[in-house]
Amino acid sequence: MNPMLTALARLLIFPGLLFAVPAAWFFLWVERKAVALMQERVGPPFMQPFWDFVKLLGKSTPPRPGIAGFIMRAWPLIAVGSAAGAVGLLPVLPASGGFEGDLILLLALLELPSICIIAAGFSSRSIFGEIGSAREAALSVSYNIVFLLAIVSIAASQRTFRLEALAAMHPTFLTVLGIVAILICLPAKLHINPFSLPNAEQEIYSGPMTEYAGPELAMWELAHGLEWVAATGLVATLIAPHIALAWGTSLLAGFIFVVLSVAVVLLLSVLAAATARLAIDSSVRFYWQCTLIFAVLAISSALFVRFWL
């Protein structure tokens, strides 16, 4: 098949926008419902994230003239675009036409929404937004070290930066360690408890999103949902060489992908329900003191495997 067409199909249909947008709402619902049930609440109805989105789209926003307003409107769109691109890069279906080094592109696209959030908080010129952005920046510096080291150690042990090859690998002790490290970083990446300080709603309203309303806020919600899909999907593709084994039947591969992603969402929901929010210094200390050692161990053993074995 034409590689251009394949890439477009991945970006727009599966696992891109056509799949990822409903999946984003579904994952958001799964997370909210699971946390609610664990707290003995009813939780939102199934269609709630969708209706939230529709309702926000219909609202008008206060006029923000000039370049500042334009920049503020641009951040959520960039975040949605990059998160959707990250989902589109996931190697779910067979012969999906990845290229050498697409892992690095995926990591960059996964990181972009976080940078957009930081910039959006500062460009909204709200004190709560600025505090939230500062927290997000400090947090992202902390968890990204571990996150990147974990992924690089997996990639180095497999001697490739191609996602398709990583998805097809058979799990070794090293990859398991790497996946655990990625899982530890996901709560911070997705802003859920115990690392929900950038949007700590009881303290600083919504942090960087405080000044956003209407369609722009809807875009942020969508970007957040797409981040969920991308992050859990990345773990799902790394966990399961089964997806690669099931490549004969695309339907099965897609199904396993969705089931694994939902399992990761449920795992993170349990963590979110079981923990309280940490202060910024505790969060940073957690990543720098407790987790970094394991990440360094992982990458040094990966390099050892790479060069001496």
Partner 1 sequence: MNILTMLWKNLRRGYQTLLFPARPKVTARFRGLVQFDPALCTGCAVCRMRCTSRAIEFKAGKGEFTWSYNPGQCTFCGRCVEGCTEHALKEGHTEHALSQQQDTPPVYTTQGELKTSYTVARRPPASKPVAAPVAAPTPNPAPGGAQ
Q: Which residues are at the interface with partner 1 (CB under 8 A)?
A: 36-43, 270, 273-275
Beta carbon nearer to partner 1, 245 or 274: 274
For 104, the token pair is 């690095």
Residue 40 has phi, psi (to 5 degrees) of 65, 30
Beta carbon nearer to partner 1, 213 or 273: 273
Beta carbon nearer to partner 1, 245 or 270: 270
Q: How far is the CB of 8 from partner 1 (least distance, A)?
A: 42
Q: How far is the CB of 133 from partner 1 (least distance, A)?
A: 31
For 125, the token pair is 């010129």
Tell me the HSE value of 187 on the side-chain side, using a 13 A CA sphere: 25
Q: Quote the CA–CA distance of 244 and 152 in Å, as a whole number.
A: 21
Beta carbon nearer to partner 1, 43 or 214: 43
For 141, the token pair is 């510096």
Instruction: Report whether 198 contacts 117 (CB < 8 A).
Output: yes
Residues 6+ apart with CB under 8 A from 109: 82, 83, 85, 86, 89, 230
Q: How far is the CB of 206 from partner 1 (least distance, A)?
A: 25
Beta carbon nearer to partner 1, 104 or 273: 273
Residue 290 has phi, psi (to 5 degrees) of -90, -45
241 to each of 15, 60, 103, 250, how far by Cα in Å? Answer: 17, 47, 17, 14
Q: How far is the CB of 38 from partner 1 (least distance, A)?
A: 4
Beta carbon nearer to partner 1, 105 or 273: 273
Please name the residue that has the structure tokens 């992982």. Answer: 298
Q: How far is the CB of 203 from partner 1 (least distance, A)?
A: 22
Helices (H), 190-276: 201-204, 214-239, 241-245, 250-274
Least Cα distance to 291 among 191, 150, 110 occurs for: 150
Please name the residue that has the structure tokens 């968890």. Answer: 143
Q: How far is the CB of 41 from partner 1 (least distance, A)?
A: 6
Q: Quote the CA–CA distance of 174 and 261 in Å, as a whole number.
A: 21
Beta carbon nearer to partner 1, 18 or 274: 274
Q: How far is the CB of 276 from partner 1 (least distance, A)?
A: 10
